[in-house]
Amino acid sequence: MAFRRFGTFRTPHGWLGIDGDGNIFQRGLKRDGVGTNAVPQKPLQAYQSESKIKVSSGTIGNKVPTINGVAISDPSAGFSVPADDNYILYAACPASNSGTVSFPSGVPTLSLATSLPNDTDATGHIRIADVSVYDGGDSIDIYNYLSGSLWGERVKVTYNTAQYYFNAI
């Protein structure tokens, strides 16, 4: 994974910086997370805190996302550091009721995935961040794709696959 450095600094535990788009990245972090407790100032940014991958507080469709049923605003929310490369994703689904269909439906849930799924009529995906593991699993890189909370729109026209649009707010 290539990083466009725009203001980086080296710490005893790896690189921290901001790329040209204003996204925060962490590179070369140790798996145990020692010394990596800097919480990003922008919403929905992944970061390592101790031995977890966490996501800074933000909203999707005015709702706070969860990780394993715990709101990301809760300090205990987070993923265990994966053994292999992963993506942090949000899968957005329309409500399955008759009448007005809200989008996205339910409480947004973030998950880890080893591959990027295709969007379908039933589900659209947002790639929150990449988590790359190397040095035999001892070090990780995190690259964020978002820099704000999101609002979504789902457009379905005739028989084509639904299109999903997300805007930072």
Domain-embedded: residue 3? no
Q: Global pTM? A: 0.75
Domain-embedded: residue 16? yes
Domain-embedded: residue 45? yes
**8 A C-beta contact, residue 56 and residue 74:** no
In tens, the pLDDT along 17-53 reads 656 565 656 665 555 554 455 667 789 989 888 778 9
Q: State the pLDDT at residue 119.
A: 85
What domain range is 86 assigned to?
8-168
Domain-embedded: residue 68? yes
Q: State the pLDDT at residue 1.
A: 43
Please count the structural domains in the chain.
1
Go through 38-74 and write b for each residue having 16 or more CB atoms within 10 A of its CB, e for each that does not.
eebebbbbbbbeeebbbbbbbbbbeebbbbeeeebee
Domain-embedded: residue 1? no
Q: Provide the mean pLDDT of the chain.
A: 77
Q: What is the residue whose two structure tokens read 């035999």?
A: 136
Q: What is the residue whose two structure tokens read 């880890």?
A: 112
Domain-embedded: residue 33? yes
Share of the chain above pLDDT 90, in %: 24
Domain-embedded: residue 122? yes
